[in-house]
Amino acid sequence: MSVNPELRRLDIDIPAQPDALVKLSLLLAEEDLNLAAAAELIEGDMALAAAVLKAVNSSLYGLEGRVQTVHQAVTYLGMREVAAITFEMGLRAAFPPAPELEPMWQRAARRGLVMGRLAQRLGLDAWGAHSAGLFEECGKAVLFRHARDHYRAMLRAARHDGDLVTLEHTGFGVSHDALGAALCESWGLGAAAVASVRQHVLAQAGGPLPDDPDQRPVSALSVVAFGLMHEREDFDEEAARVAEEAGLAPEAVLRIGRQVHEQLGSAARHGR
């Protein structure tokens, strides 16, 4: 997809989707997904495959024993999570490594897992939710690459993302939520994921979900994941609010959200 002309006029570069991810996207879109072909595609890019296996073997996924191949990873985790890890690694590789961005990438991995597993257990679009979680903060990486020193100062000055958005608009004429949505569109993510990324700062601050009812569930899961990861005192109230706005059962969202969060936390604590 093309990038919004208004963003092009700002001369802020949106990185292109890597060829391997373009091909993987096409495979994932097929009605009868060929798991072997998808795994072979990932393994065909040695650097990408190595990064995926390193991520799969981290404590975040809690696997017993070491996974040696992408095929094994698919067997243990399923294609959706392996594809999401591949997109995460491809997204990271699109930007120069920087210590300031590492916490953002770590949050992205955990948030994507929380949102994807929540969506799966609620009968929602798990791939859309997982990819929305991965890409939620990616606009920060775009701005960091565009003006490293200037943006580094903004990251230090902002108390939270609401402050950061204000600083970004003043300094660049655009904020990371809009840039992240543009990157999602250019990389071919679904409309619900794009809308969630575009709306996440506002929604997490107590604002409304997207106008389109079909896009609200993924955005609601973004708010739920944010509340869990930041241990918000008003988590119950906020989760219930967005669940109702998205047409979801608040009790189920609260229960499953806590279960998924605890399962990931337990895996990380035990290094499994």
pLDDT tens digits, 229-270: 998 899 999 999 999 999 999 999 999 999 998 888 776 665
Residues 153 and 192 grouped into a single domain? yes
pLDDT at 5 over 80: no
Q: What is the SS3 assignment for 188?
A: coil
Same domain, yes or no: 73 and 175: no
Q: Are residues 171 and 203 in the same domain?
A: yes
102-122 and 126-135 helices, crossing angle to 10°: 160
- Are 123 and 172 in contact, with CB atoms under 8 Å apart? no
Same domain, residue pair 241 and 257 = yes
**Are 161 and 254 found together in one domain?**
yes
Least confident of 7-21, 80-94, 181-195: 7-21
Residue range 94-149, pLDDT digits in tens: 999 999 999 999 999 999 999 999 999 999 999 999 999 999 999 999 999 999 99
Instruction: Tell me which of 93, 111, 126 is where a domain ends.
Output: 93
Residue 130 belongs to domain with CATH number: 1.10.3210.10
Band (12; pLDDT cuts 50, 70, 90): confident
Residue 3 has pLDDT above 50, yes or no: no
Residue 212 shares a structural domain with residue 184: yes
pLDDT score for 212: 97
Using a 10 angstrom Cβ sphere, with 0-12 exposed, 13-18 middle and 19 or more buried, the burial of residue 197 is: buried
Give the domain extent around 27.
Answer: 19-93
Q: How far is CA 202 from CA 135, 209, 222, in A?
A: 16, 8, 11
Query: Which residue in the block uniquely carries the two structure tokens 């003043």?
Result: 170
**pLDDT exceeding 70 applies to what percent of the chain?**
94
pLDDT for 76: 87
- Taking residues 58-69, report their average pLDDT: 85
50 and 152 part of one domain: no
Q: In the prediction, which pLDDT does 130 show?
A: 95
Say if residue 171 is in the same domain as residue 83.
Answer: no
Are 45 and 153 found together in one domain?
Answer: no
The average confidence (pLDDT) of the chain is: 91
The pLDDT assigned to 265 comes to: 79
The pLDDT of residue 272? 47
155 with 228, same domain?
yes
* Predicted local confidence at residue 6, as pLDDT: 54
What pTM was computed for the model?
Answer: 0.89
State the pLDDT at residue 10.
64
Q: So what's the pLDDT on residue 172?
A: 94
The pLDDT value recorded for residue 2 is: 43
Of 56, 74, 93, the residue that ends a domain is: 93
Domain boundary among 42, 74, 93: 93
Overall number of domains in the chain: 2
